[in-house]
Homo-oligomer: A and B are copies of this chain.
Amino acid sequence: MIITLTTDIGWEYAAEMKGKILSINPNAKIVDITHEIMPQNIRQGAFVLYSIVPYFKKAIHIGVVDPGVGTERKAIIIECRNAYFVGPDNGLFIPAAKKLGIKKIYEIKVSRKASPVFHGRDVFAPVAAKLSTGIKAKELGKEIKKYVELDFGKATVEKGRIKGKVLFIDRFGNIITNITKENLEAKEFHVKMGVVEKKIKLYPSYGYAKKGEILAVIGSSGFLEIARREGNAAKYFDAKEDMKIEMFF
């Protein structure tokens, strides 16, 4: 059984989780998604999980972006068709789990022996390892109905203007927005973020633009991205997470 790890804790702390998992289930197949989510950036973690889940046929996904660790925030298992999510109840899994369809949610009882600063190792890793051996979620937690929500927001279209926001900036400086293909009426538009306005084109991929050109593409997860060919679009627009973005034709 595949166990994936999506965390902001860095490789060396994640290794302690891997040791725990393999001690309980030596046959677990661990897949590192990333350990370099920006510290405590729950939404970026949620976006990564949302993006990757369709490509795993069957897996247990552990997520550790967990600023509330050791406080009263709950530890949960979300059961979906062919997938479990194990981690904090802070919204991290919600977009991904909704994409797959949430079946049930369980609250994990946290042992008093667990390090209050590292539930990833002492709570989530052992629970995921046990799930991977075939133990049922209901034996590892009690069902709950409420959970912390998180969504990426929906872009709106009004009088020919699309209004959305910046979800996050990736390592190339591409600006990932919450605008989807369906919102777009044309292949050429004005985009406005903060004080910067620019007329750009929507291309099938980066390579169609000239060197240095600002462009738009539909990213591999279906959201509109603003990029700069061989450059950094986020710098050009001075874009930050959550910044409003307006587009008009």
Contacts and interface: CB of A to CB of B under 8 A. Distances in A.
Contacts of A40: 230
Interface string A202-214: 0011111000000
Contacts of A218: 115, 117
Contacts of A118: 220
A4 B15 contact: yes
A48 interface: yes
Interface stretch (A64-72, A93-101, A146-154, A237-245): A64-72
A236 interface: no
Contact of A220 (B52, B68, B117): B117
Nearest to A204: B116
A19 B55 contact: yes
12 contacts: A10-B171, A11-B35, A19-B52, A19-B59, A30-B31, A67-B230, A69-B207, A70-B204, A71-B205, A71-B207, A116-B217, A117-B205
Interface of A: 2, 4, 6, 10-13, 15-20, 22-23, 26, 29-36, 39-40, 48, 51-52, 54-57, 59, 67-71, 73, 115-118, 121, 170-172, 204-208, 217-220, 230
Given A15-B48, A19-B56, A69-B206, 10 more contacts: A15-B55, A16-B51, A16-B220, A17-B55, A19-B55, A32-B32, A55-B121, A69-B207, A70-B204, A117-B206
